[in-house]
A and B are shown apart, each in its own frame.
Chain A
Amino acid sequence: MQNLWLIPALPFIGFLINGILGRKLSKAVVSAIAVLSVVLSFGLVVSVGLSSGWGEHPIHQHYFTWIRSGGVDIGWDFMVDKLTMIMLMVVTGIGSLIHIYATGYMAHEEGYYRFFAYLNLFMFFMLNLVLGANYLLLFVGWEGVGLCSYLLIGFYFVKKSATTAGNKAFIVNRIGDFGFSLAMFLIFITFGSLDFGKVLSAAPGKPVEVLTAIALLMLLGATGKSAQIPLYVWLPDAMEGPTPVSALIHAATMVTAGVYMCSRSAAIFLKAPIAMETVAIVGLATAVFAATIGLTQYDIKKVFAYSTVSQLGYMFLGVGVGAFSAGIWHLMTHAFFKALLFMGAGSVIHACGGEQDMRKMGGLKKYTPWTCGVLACASLAIAGVPGTSGFFSKDAILTAAYGHAPWMFWVGVVTAGMTAFYVWRAFWMTFWGEYRGGDAGHSHDHGHAHTHGHDDHAHAHNHSHDHDHDHGHSHSHDDHGHDHHGTPHESPWSMLAPLVVLAFLSLAGGFLFNVPKFLESMFPLHEEVPNEEMLMGVSIFAGLIGIALSYFMYVANKELPGKIRKALGGIYTLVYNKYFVDEFYDATVVRPIIEGSTEVLWHGLDQGVIDGAVNGAGTGSRSIGGVLKHLQSGNIRSYATWVVVGAVILLITVGMNGGLIR
């Protein structure tokens, strides 16, 4: 009997230890606790997998009744089936690698223990999300990962842009969560329960309109968490967080929660064709839209952020055309290569001393050969080069899309070409050519703590013992030239080892894990599509063209991008500025809310009506008192007169009413 609750509990214990005692612990102890808790959790997942035939025999465990009120009966139940198993493996597996990576990446940062405490807390909530056996538990995890996302985006809280980005992520997600909450209410009203088992088995018998409403509200929730149109705007800004966070939360795990939720609710979605169509269109539109923006960005993390949005769009396309297993497959392979891309980008940024602008990089393959190699693997995978993991999953989605509606396939193929182009553009700009950074180490605004010398570090630590320890620790990294930004340098092994593992998975993941076959019992395989080889050929061709074009433009003929930019003129400006979506939201949503709040709610309602009522009551009583105070003359005789007058009036009244009432 495996105790499923231990899987999320271990990172939670890590969070408690690091969160409460972390300040007093040395960095080595903090990272040991953080990494061990997640690795142990991964080990538990594996042992659960082995004992349950990797979800072949679903496990359902009830721990206690959480809420019982009237008809509401919600238990704290965990369950593991094949879908959960995949999510658990991805979350704990990638999570472990990123934790190890972060010990190297964050070695010089202030708030080291705080970072790992948040990261462990994130793991706890994420595991809760995937293990929960009812919608409410899923929602607990859903909100919890949102909280951790907010905390980690705003990790560099002295930077105004970071805290703003954190707020943006949190607020935009509120809109989606509102939809998800409504979906849960509707589910409860319709099914009388929130348990996956009861709801999903009863779903086919319910009216289509209700199921469509539920599915669309869930989709709204998913667009928030998984950064789809119209709520994707928070994800690119979320790159303000440390790079391991971008890799773990904003690429590999949390943002895929929406895909997981839709797949989990497949029984509802399958009965609501309109909702399915909406999911597919939203996904496809997001994929194209974000890919075009990705073509023009110069910030390496922004490129990958838009790429993430675009790839999530692919997953939704898969879900929307009914190929749930293809969507989950892409979720998994995307977790491999996108986590790798982000961590590789982190390694590059680390190498360049915090620089994120690709125009100030270049020629790094000479200085950071390992990073260059693993990033090449990831870029091959995301471009869908045959044999890599991304090829299999992307092809599965595109084929299913063709079976659903051929135009979706063609749009998807164009997007695939653009994806290959912008990822390889980033690759060439970073690793090929000449190093354009110069003394890059002194002219950047990101990762402020990276640039802190040892003196700054000494100030940050109150305990001389810890300080000494940290000092020694830092010195070991000095061998890598971390604090001397003269030339770029390769990252330490704690950072490279996870990259190598992920590079292997990015390349071989498609062969190793055949997700659609694995999930066949849950999501029947799609019917065969005619001309499958031709479709495969087209998508491969699109990817190769993208790579070739990027090589042509950024390595062979470097004048070309400038000319194209000039030729496109206004369109380029539009795309470069991300279609001015942020400005559009600012003008249509944010400003009206702020101004409406200021004018109507603040000046009108709050100051006018509410303050008016309160102050009116005050001034009213004052003015009445001003009249009445003349009664209190201090003259006893006048008081006595009032008493007498009162007594007389009383007597007369009583007399006129015919005496006292008996």
Chain B
Amino acid sequence: MDPQVLMQTLGKGVPTSWYLALSAVLFTIGVAGFILRRNIITVFMCIELMLNAVNLSFIAFAHEHRQVSGHLFTFFVMVVAAAEAAVGLAIILTVFKNRSTLNIDEIDSLKN
């Protein structure tokens, strides 16, 4: 894309597809981190990252279609994420107190 066209495009505002691409990248980072990292705090942060990636795409579409429902969804997601963070962090603290570890591979007593 030559700079001339780029500047013209940005003059009308950032295109929706860019937001979606960023959202996809963030989501993929989140998934990768969730799967690959072992530290439970990191995993938790990756979940937040995925949620916010989705929020971004909601907002982008809301802007594109001039509708408020995307905003509403985003608020819901934020509220749920906040609640989840509060509960999740409390669980993590308790787990750490009892097990002295945050390695997610060692916390597997629910299997079998």
B-contacting residues of A (Cβ < 8 Å)? 629, 632-637, 640-641, 644
Which one of B36, B43, B111 lies within 8 Å of A634 (CB-CB)? B111
The answer to whether A634 touches B108 (Cβ under 8 A) is yes
A283 to chain B, nearest CB (A): 77
Q: Of residues 84 to 112 in B, which have CB atoms within 8 Å of A's CB atoms?
A: 104-105, 107-112
Bound CA–CA A641/B112 (angstroms):
19
Helix, strand, loop or mixed for chain B's interface?
loop
Q: Which B residues, 41 to 59, have Cβ-Cβ distances below 8 Å to chain A?
A: 43
Complex CA–CA separation, A396 to B36 (angstroms): 109
Set A632, A633, A635, A637: member contacting B34, Cβ < 8 A: A637
Within 8 A of A (CB), among B1-48: 31, 34-36, 38, 43
Residues of A within 8 A of B110 (CB): 634
Which residue of A629, A635, A640, A644 is within 8 Å of B108 (Cβ)? Answer: A635
Residue of A with least CB distance to B110: A634
Contact A644-B112, Cβ < 8 Å, known A636-B104, A637-B104: no
CA distance A625 to B111 in the complex (A): 14
> Are A632 and B105 in touch, CB under 8 angstroms?
no
> What are 28 A-B pairs at a CB distance below 8 A?
A629-B112, A632-B111, A632-B112, A633-B108, A633-B111, A634-B108, A634-B109, A634-B110, A634-B111, A634-B112, A635-B104, A635-B105, A635-B108, A635-B111, A636-B43, A636-B104, A636-B107, A637-B34, A637-B35, A637-B36, A637-B38, A637-B104, A637-B105, A640-B31, A640-B34, A640-B35, A644-B31, A644-B35
Q: Cα distance A636–B109 when bound, in Å?
A: 11
Residues of A within 8 A of B31 (CB): 640, 644
Identify the closest chain A residue to B38 (Cβ).
A637
Q: Which residue of B lies closest to A644 (CB)?
A: B31
List, in ascending order, chain A residues with CB within 8 A of B35's CB.
637, 640-641, 644
Top 4 A-B residue pairs of the complex, sorted by shortest distance between their CB atoms: A634-B111, A634-B108, A640-B35, A640-B34
User: Given the complex, which residues of B lie within 8 Å of A632, measured CB to CB?
Assistant: 111-112
Give chain A nearest CB distance to B47 CB in angstroms. Answer: 10
How extensive is the interface on chain B, given as a class? 10 to 19
- Count of A-B contacts judged by CB separation below 8 Å: 29
Q: How far is the CA of A637 from the CA of B108 in the complex (A)?
A: 11
Residues of A within 8 A of B43 (CB): 636
Please report the C-alpha to C-alpha distance between residue A538 and residue B109 in the assembled complex, in whole angstroms. 102
What's the Cα separation between A634 and B112 when bound, in Å? 8
Q: What residues on B are CB-neighbors of A636 within 8 Å?
A: 43, 104, 107
In the complex, what's the smallest C-beta–C-beta distance from B82 to chain A, in angstroms?
A: 22
CB distance from B49 to the nearest CB of A (A): 13
Residues of B with C-beta under 8 A to A633: 108, 111
CA distance A212 to B89 in the complex (A): 90
**Which residues of the other chain, A, contact B34 by a CB distance below 8 angstroms?**
637, 640
Tell me, in angstroms, the Cα distance from A632 to B112 when the chains sit together: 7
The CA of A636 and the CA of B102, in the complex, are separated in Å by: 13
* B110 CB, nearest partner CB in chain A, Å: 6
**A165 CA / B112 CA spacing, docked (Å):** 59
Additional A-B contacts beyond A633-B111, A634-B110, A637-B105 (12; CB < 8 A): A632-B112, A633-B108, A634-B108, A634-B109, A635-B104, A636-B104, A636-B107, A637-B34, A637-B104, A640-B34, A640-B35, A644-B31
In this complex, what residue of B is CB-closest to A647?
B31
Residues of A within 8 A of B36 (CB): 637
Write out the residue numbers on chain A whose beta carbons fall within 8 Å of the beta carbon of B38.
637
> What CA separation (Å) do A632 and B110 show in the bound complex?
9
Cα(A535)–Cα(B31), bound, Å: 114
In the complex, what residues of B have CB within 8 A of residue A635's CB? Answer: 104-105, 108, 111
A637 to B107, CA, bound (A): 11
Q: Which residues of A contact B107 (CB under 8 A)?
A: 636
B100 to chain A minimum Cβ distance, whole angstroms, is 18
When chains A and B are docked, how far (Å) is the Cα of A35 from the Cα of B110? Answer: 76
A637 to B, closest residue via Cβ: B35
A636 (CB) vs chain B CBs: closest residue: B104
A487 to chain B, nearest CB (A): 85
A628 to chain B, nearest CB (A): 12
Chain A nearest Cβ from B4, distance in angstroms = 35
A635→B108 CA distance, assembly (Å)? 6
For residue B109, which residues in chain A have a CB less than 8 angstroms away from its CB? Answer: 634
Which of B105, B109, B110 gathers the greatest number of chain A CB atoms within 10 Å?
A: B105
Q: How far is the CA of A646 from the CA of B34 in the complex (A)?
A: 15
Cα A629 to Cα B112 with chains together (Å): 7
CA–CA, A640 and B35, complex, Å: 6
Chain B residues positioned under 8 Å from A634 (CB to CB): 108-112
Residue of A nearest to B40 (CB): A636
A637 / chain B contacts, CB cutoff of 8 Å:
34-36, 38, 104-105
Query: In the complex, A632→B105 CA distance in Å?
Result: 13
- B54 to A: closest C-beta gap in Å: 13
Q: Which residues of B contact A629 (CB under 8 A)?
A: 112
- What's the least CB distance linking A637 to chain B, in Å? 5
